[in-house]
Every structure is written in structure tokens, then in C-alpha cells.
Amino acid sequence: MGGVPERIIRESHAMEAVIAEAERAARTEAKVLITGESGVGKEVVARLVHARSGRAGRSLVVVNCAGVPDELLESELFGHMRGSFTDAVRDKAGLLEMADGGTILLDEVGEMSLRMQALLLRFLENGEIQRVGAPQPSQTVNVRVIAATNRDLSECVKRRQFRQDLFYRLNVLALDVPPLRHRGPDIAPLLRHYLTAFAIQYRVPAPRLSADAMYRLQLYRWPGNVRELRNLVESLVARFPGQRIDLAQLPWPVQQAAPLDLDRSSTRPTGEILWDAIRDGGSFWSVVYAPFMSRDITRDDVRFVVAKGLEHTGGNYTTLVPVLNLGNRDHKRFLNFLRKHDCNEPARPSRTLGLQRPAA
Ligand SMILES: Nc1ncnc2c1ncn2[C@@H]1O[C@H](COP(=O)(O)OP(=O)(O)OP(=O)(O)O)[C@@H](O)[C@H]1O
Ligand SMILES: [Mg+2]
């Protein structure tokens, strides 16, 4: 990984909002704390903040704070003097010095020991660098600090695993990257992006996903987020170049993905179940469109979901895009679908006034 940020693929409103926040953050010098589950794209977002900032001409240095013994992390960050420990055969600059004028990403900052937290706090207060083994600080540097973690740092503060003063210092601008399962519209474009990218890298024709495979991949919960998706696509390209990928070629957990329990004996109306799945981040296309096209749900179910959405938007069809997780470029396709299948007349009249028909 690493390098200049590749294209950040996104169609979801949620991710679009994160990118907009990151671009706003880039125009400031404030510290940024990026949170989110493993593999959601925290580093990608950090790289965007750096690349869009006035520091873009200087380096972005990434330090992984997890799993590194204290002494090593201290010397990595602050540098060391010759003879300060056995392997220190010459003076060495730390990463904070190397990032002077640029940005440092402290990845997995939640894993830092309390001792390292104290050293980091001291640095954040005055920008002074004291190399390991040096009697006093040698210089001050100007580094923008971005921290990332998949932990809930305020919880760590409560449990006294993370210093409160450090938390407040790092958490000036907060960017939370949502998990992929709450960004339904991003899944299909990410799949297409990586199918093409790995096909080019391996110099093979890209595999094609069957409609059923695509559907299941969109229902799957992606516990490992974008990283898991990327790895899965890489293995599909390697194993099935130029071939058609159906359900059977997908890993077992993906084949099993069926969060919508459309059990007919259930007393819950289907529309309610669909609506919950949308509120949970599923996209209209995978939650409603796909089962409608395969006749698993009825026109009234579709109308129910649309009516629910319209209740949220005060009857406005345009602002349904984020509510139904449609994807930012899909609005026209959505209206065409409603018109074609006669679904734009909600099943129940909405209680909200001002219900509009889509523009013809
Ligand atoms: N929106 C996106 N478009 C394209 N690629 C992405 C996107 N988000 C993440 N990736 C890719 O997914 C992988 C994981 O992203 P990244 O390393 O930024 O996640 P992370 O949140 O820092 O994960 P971890 O918590 O494990 O460090 C990387 O290969 C990255 O390039
Ligand atoms: Mg990371």
C-alpha cells in the first residue's frame, strides 16, 4: 500500500460526506483524528488530507504505533544518539524530523503505551524533538499530526488506557469513516474498480460477475471492509481470469449472505424489513431492486419503501438519494425504474404534505 492516494472510489452519500470533511480539514492546520473499523480506508483519507493541504509538496510519514516495543517506537519517532543502545551505531534522525514541513500519520494511535503517550503529548505541546540518549531537546519541527485508530478512544479514556489530555489534543477535527456495510452504494463500484485494476496488474482479462454473484456481494456484511473486498477480488482475478463468476465461485460466507429474512410466515410486513435494511445502510439496488426484479417482493413492497423514504424527505424525490442509499449518479435510473414499473404511486398516502411526482 502506501504511495500517492489512488482514486478514492465512492458512490455513497456517507463516503462523499467524509471526503468533503477531509477536504475542509486539508485547508486548515488542525490535528485530525480519523476513526473507523479496520480496513475502511482511514489511511486513504489521511493521504487525501495531506495531498490537498499546503504541505502536499513535503512528505507524509506513516508510523504504525501498534506492536512496536516502546524503546523502538520512541527511537523511530524521535531518533537516537550514537551509543544510546546496543544497535545505535550512529546518530539517527527520527520520523518526526523527517516529516518536518509535512505531515505525520500516527496509525493505530490507540495502541500506544502510557509512557509513549506522555512523550507524544510533550512533543505536541512544544514541537521539540529530544532524541533517545540526548541530554536535551535538539530542535523544534513543524509537523502536522493526523492520528488514526479503530478503537473508541473516549472509551479508552474512561478505562484509563488513553490519556484524556492527549485525546483532546488529537481530536480537534474528527473524521469517522463508516464501515462498508453502511455504504451499500460503494460496493459495486469498488468491485468493478478492483476487477479492472487487478486484471491490468496481472495482464489477464477481468472475470465477469453474474447478477446473482453481484447481488450476494452487495448483501454480504464485509467485516474486513474495503481491504477484505480488495483481497477477495484479487483472488478472483487470479483464479478465474476472463471467466464468469457465479455464486459457487464465491467464498462460503458470501454465498451465505442473506440478511433479508423475507420469511413469508413472519408477521412483519415485508416492506418494514426492506426499510430496516435500507436504514442499516443497504442500497436500494440490492435491498429492493434486485429482489423485485427476481419477483421475491411485490410492487406494493417497493411502493412502501419509496413512501417511507418520501416521509423522510417531505415528499421530495431528489433528496431520496441519500435516504435510500441510491448512489450519487443513480437518481435518473431510479426515477426511470419507478416509472417503468409503476411504483411511484406510494402504497399508502404519505402523512407529509407536498408529495411531488417525479419530473417527467
Ligand atoms: N474508497 C476506496 N477506494 C479505493 N480503495 C480503497 C478505498 N478505501 C480503502 N481502499 C483500499 O483498501 C485498503 C485498506 O484501506 P486503508 O489501509 O486506508 O484502511 P485502514 O482503515 O487504514 O485499515 P487499518 O485499520 O487496517 O489500518 C487499501 O488497500 C486501500 O487502498
Ligand atoms: Mg491503516
What's the predicted TM-score (pTM) here?
0.80
Read off the C-alpha cell for 12.
455513497
Q: Does residue 36 line the site of ligand 1, with CB under 6 A?
A: yes
Ligand 1 pocket, residue 11 CB under 6 Å: no
Report pLDDT digits (tens) over 276-315.
888 877 789 888 988 888 788 899 999 999 999 999 999 9
Best residue among 10, 11, 105, 227 to mutate for probing ligand 1, ranked by most atoms within 8 Å of CB: 227
Lowest mean pLDDT among 124-128, 167-171, 180-184, 203-207: 180-184
Number of the ligand closest to the Cα of 37: 1
Residue 146: exposure state from Cβ atoms within 10 A (0-12, 13-18, ≥19):
buried
Residue 97 phi, psi dihedral angles, 5° rounding: -65, -40
The DSSP letter of residue 132 is B
- Cα–ligand 2 centroid distance for 281 (angstroms): 23
Give the per-residue pLDDT at 140.
Answer: 94
The C-alpha cell that represents 90 in the structure block = 550512529
> What cell numbers appear for 230 in the block?
480488495
When the pLDDT of each residue in the chain is averaged and rounded to a whole number, the result is: 89
- Beta-strand (E) ranges in the chain? 32-35, 60-64, 79-80, 92-93, 103-107, 128-129, 139-140, 144-149, 173-176, 208-209, 244-245
For residue 150, how far is its CA from the centre of ligand 2 (angstroms)? 9
Percentage of residues of the chain with pLDDT beyond 90? 67
Ligand 1 mutation pick, 19, 37, 44, max ligand atoms within 8 A of CB: 44
60-90 tens-digit pLDDT: 999 999 988 988 999 999 999 998 887 888 9
Residue 5, pLDDT above cutoff 50? no
Provide mean pLDDT across the span 316-340: 90
Which ligand sits closest to the CA of 149?
Answer: 1
pLDDT at 245 > cutoff 50: yes
> Which atom belonging to ligand 1 lies closest to the Cα atom of 10?
1
The proportion of the chain whose per-residue pLDDT surpasses 70, expressed as a percent, equals 91
Note the pLDDT of residue 261.
59
The residue ranking higher by pLDDT, 215 or 28, is 28
**Ligand nearest to the backbone CA of 14:** 1
pLDDT at 3: 41
Say how far apart CA 222 and CA 218 lie, in whole Å. Answer: 9
Give the Å distance between the CA of 102 and the centre of ligand 1.
21
| 193 Cα nearest atom in ligand 1 | 4
Return the percent helix, strand and coil in the chain, to nearest 5.
45, 10, 45
CA 34 to ligand 1: nearest atom: 21
- Is residue 230 within 6 Å of ligand 1 at its C-beta? yes
Length in residues, the chain? 360
Q: Which domains does the chain have, with CATH numbers?
A: 13-178 (3.40.50.300), 182-255 (1.10.8.60), 270-340 (no CATH)
Residue located via cell numbers 419530473: 359
Helix axes 13-26, 42-51, angle to 10 degrees: 40
Confidence of residue 355 (pLDDT cuts 50, 70, 90): very low
- What is the distance of C-alpha 192 from the center of its chain? 17
Q: Give the pLDDT of residue 258.
A: 65
- Answer whether residue 158 shows pLDDT above 60: yes
Residue 349's pLDDT band, with cuts at 50, 70 and 90, is very low
Ligand nearest to the CA of 193: 1
Over residues 93-109, mean pLDDT = 96
For ligand 1, mutation pick of 12, 226, 229 (most atoms within 8 Å of CB): 226
9 pLDDT band, cuts 50/70/90, is: very high
Q: Kindly state if the Cβ of 315 falls inside 6 Å of ligand 1.
A: no
Closest to 99 measured CA to CA, from 151, 55, 133, 37 = 55
